[in-house]
Chain A
Amino acid sequence: EAGVTQFPSHSVIEKGQTVTLRCDPISGHDNLYWYRRVMGKEIKFLLHFVKESKQDESGMPNNRFLAERTGGTYSTLKVQPAELEDSGVYFCASSQDLQEGETQYFGPGTRLLVL
């Protein structure tokens, strides 16, 4: 069974440009999450999708970040325009259901560097 995949693995862009990150969850997983780790800090929650619906987007830093999950399969996270402080590793995770003991499975992350 394929795990969570993310694309690209690395992205280097200039301040003011736009970047779109993609996440493909494990097949059949309704729950999809985005997290971010800024250099030297802890991994922080960004948002949670159940199928195509945003259940919790309380961790999104500001309106320069837009996450979508059209059709309830893969998700994209767009940063527009990117700022220097957006640099970090963006992780995606998925889980099957929200029952007790839910386990989130993580992708390899996308390393974003904004110059």
Chain B
Amino acid sequence: AQSVSQHNHHVILSEAASLELGCNYSYGGTVNLFWYVQYPGQHLQLLLKYFSGDPLVKGIKGFEAEFIKSKFSFNLRKPSVQWSDTAEYFCAVNLRYSSASKIIFGSGTRLSIRP
């Protein structure tokens, strides 16, 4: 069955630290990969996505992710985090088949930034 694994449930960092959140997926077909973010009290927002081309994708707010097909990974990175990055981050894969579509989410990683 298709699945998405996020390695860390809760990450605590100080401001200016570098961030890497791990994500691995299990799916043999063509994948569209996403990172969504949910800031406190807000709804899920798209951070970045990969569907083809350059495997290093850049998103909003200085985030980037690298698709490594051989490792089935799509890790999220940011060189220097800010307090405002405190949020929950979800890695996801979009499965499209015939005329239907659905997103499979990882369990989420809660990121807490110490000011």
A-side residues, CB < 8 A to B, are: 3-4, 31, 33, 35, 41-45, 48, 50, 55-56, 59, 91, 93, 95, 98, 100-109
Contact with A along B81-115 (1 / 0, CB 8 A): 00000000010001010011111111110000000
CB distance from B99 to the nearest CB of A (A): 6
Nearest residue (CB) in B for A3 is: B43
- A44-B105 contact, Cβ under 8 Å, with A100-B51, A103-B49, A107-B43: yes
B52: which of A95, A100, A104 is its contact (CB, 8 Å)?
A100
CB distance from A18 to the nearest CB of B (A): 25
A50: which of B36, B99, B102, B108 is its contact (CB, 8 Å)?
B99
Residues of A within 8 A of B42 (CB): 108
Q: Is the interface of B mostly helix, strand, loop or mixed?
A: strand
B-side residues, CB < 8 A to A, are: 4, 30, 32, 34, 36, 42-46, 49, 51-52, 90, 94, 96, 99-108
A101: which of B4, B51, B106, B107 is its contact (CB, 8 Å)?
B51
A95: which of B90, B99, B101, B105 is its contact (CB, 8 Å)?
B101
Give the docked Cα–Cα distance between A68 and B5 (Å).
32
Give the docked Cα–Cα distance between A67 and B115 (Å).
44
